[in-house]
């Protein structure tokens, strides 16, 4: 017989999985709505929410030690750095920035 903390933990992972599936479905639905410039903003927000769920629950970044947060933050820093380089490359080409 499982103790209640294991049962609660399993339930939490099932709920997180369902939320991730729901957010994915919403993201696909928004892609077909034709919202123009608002669609990428909403989809980035959904992606950030999904990434937060993954980081906090599945990578166990909640709680000590804080060294985990330093490494996770440095990963985000480098990701933003690479996105910045990519957008700089697109901006300096002949066509300019892509039109959404």
pLDDT digits (tens, 9 = 90+) for 25-72: 999 999 999 888 888 889 989 998 998 888 888 777 776 777 877 887
76's tokens: 């985000």
Place of tokens 């002949």: 94
Under DSSP, the state recorded for 96 is -
Q: Among 2-6, 15-19, 48-52, 83-87, which stretch is predicted with the lowest mean pLDDT?
A: 2-6
CA distances from 82 to 65, 85, 87 (A): 27, 5, 9
- 41 close to 34: Cβ distance less than 8 angstroms: no
What is the SS3 assignment for 35? coil
């Amino acid at each position: 017989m499982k103790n209640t903390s294991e049962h609660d933990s399993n339930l939490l992972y099932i709920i997180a999985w369902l939320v991730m599936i729901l957010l994915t479905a919403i993201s696909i639905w928004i892609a077909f709505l034709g919202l123009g410039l608002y669609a990428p903003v909403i989809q980035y927000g959904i992606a950030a929410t999904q990434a937060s769920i993954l980081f906090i629950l599945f990578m166990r970044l909640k709680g000590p030690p804080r060294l985990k947060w330093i490494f996770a933050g440095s990963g985000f820093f480098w990701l933003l750095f690479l996105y910045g380089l990519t957008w700089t490359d697109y901006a300096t080409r002949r066509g300019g920035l892509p039109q959404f």
